[in-house]
Structure 1
Amino acid sequence: MLTLVRHGQTQANRSGLLLGRADPPLCAQGVEQAAVLARALPRPARLVSSPLTRARQTAEMFGVPVEVDERWIEMDYGTLDGCPSTALDAAGWRAWRDDPAHVPAGGESVAAVGERVRAACADLAADAASDDVVVVSHVSPIKAAIAWALGVGDEVAWRMWVEDAAVCRIDTSGSTPRLLAFNDLSAHAAALQPLR
């Protein structure tokens, strides 16, 4: 099973800022989210992480060796990194959403993220077919991995929403990948249940 985990919350996420290559740590809630995920998910045979601090902090909660893979880093938002979404006008958002090859403000295109993530998924598929492989990453790479699993183009990225500390599962054991879960927050719901 290929399990994709979005990192826990940061203060920038909580504030609704565009967060790409900027490297803030998890906030207190994000640390708790990461701990819940580490308790709830099976111990992976392989654990892969983006190089950014928020992803590595989340991955380290699992207590197994972490492989850092640059291909799982968040999209580069260029000059928009750390800005509110209102920093880009309606025409700028339209151009970005309508064209996967569009590069916003010196950053990275959705298509470029898709290309690197499809290669990363293909490299993990065989191991994930027989063991649990967990990847801790970010919104844009996770969306790209879902597009890979579904066999669709990068243009679907803007039709998805991925929550902080959400889990997605892709079965790679067949002739084509199958999406089994998307934006799953059940581990957090279970952690909030009172003990009986």
Structure 2
Amino acid sequence: MLVLVRHGQTQANRSGLLLGRADPPLCPEGIEQAAVLARALPRPARLISSPLTRARQTAEMFGVPVEVDDRWIEMDYGTLDECPASTLDAAGWRAWREDPTHVPAGGESLAAVGERVRAACAELTADAAAGDVVVVSHVSPIKAAVAWALGVGDEVAWRMWVEDAAVCRIDTSGTTPRLLAFNDVSAHAAALQPLR
């Protein structure tokens, strides 16, 4: 099984900022989310992480060796990194949503993210068919992996939402990948409910 895990929350996520290659650590809630995920998910045969701190901190909670793969890094938002979404005007959002090859100023296109993630997924297919491979990554690469599993284009990313510390599962044991779970937050959502 290919198990895709979005990192736990950072203060920038909590504040609703676009967060690409900027490298803040997890906030206290994010650390707790990561700890809960590590307890809830089966011990992986392989554990892979984006090189960014928030992903590595989440991966390290699993207590097994972490392989860092740069292909799982978040999209480069260029000059929009750590800015509110409102920084980009309506025309800018329209261009980005209508054209997967559109590159925000100084950044990276959805198509470029999709290309690197599809290659990473293809390399993990056999290992994930034999045992759980957990990849700790970010919103855009996880959406690209889901698009790969469904056999659809990169533009589908705008129709998905991935929460902090969410889990997606892709079965790679057959002739084509199958998406079994998307945006599953049940493990940490239940554990972090306030006591009544």
Please indicate the TM-score interval, normalised by the length of the shorter structure: over 0.9
> What is the rounded CA distance, in whole Å, between the counterparts of 1:153 and 1:3 in structure 2?
21
Cα deviation 1:37-67 (Å, max 9, x = unaligned): 0000000000000000000000000000000
Q: Which residue of 2 aligns with 1:142?
A: 142
Deviation, structure 1 residue 193: 6.5
Change (3 A) 1:31 1:155: same
Q: Which residue of 1 aligns with 2:19?
A: 19
Unaligned runs of 5+ in 1: none
Deviation, structure 1 residue 192: 4.1
Change (3 A) 1:13 1:193: closer
Unaligned runs of 5+ in 2: none
Percent of aligned positions with the same letter in both sequences?
90
Deviation, structure 1 residue 12: 0.2
Segments of 4+ moved more than 3 angstroms: 192-195
Q: Which residue of 1 aligns with 2:128?
A: 128
> What is the rounded CA distance, in whole Å, between the counterparts of 2:192 and 2:68 in structure 1?
31
Q: Which residue of 1 aligns with 2:73?
A: 73
SS at match of 1:157: helix
> What is the rounded CA distance, in whole Å, between the counterparts of 1:94 and 1:27 in structure 2?
32
Q: Which residue of 2 aligns with 1:105?
A: 105
SS at match of 2:12: helix
Q: Which amino acid aligns with 1:97?
A: R
Q: Which residue of 2 aligns with 1:153?
A: 153
Q: CA RMSD in A?
A: 1.1
Cα deviation 1:164-189 (Å, max 9, x = unaligned): 00000000000000000000011013
Matched, 1:190 2:194: no
> What is the rounded CA distance, in whole Å, between the counterparts of 1:94 and 1:179 in structure 2?
28
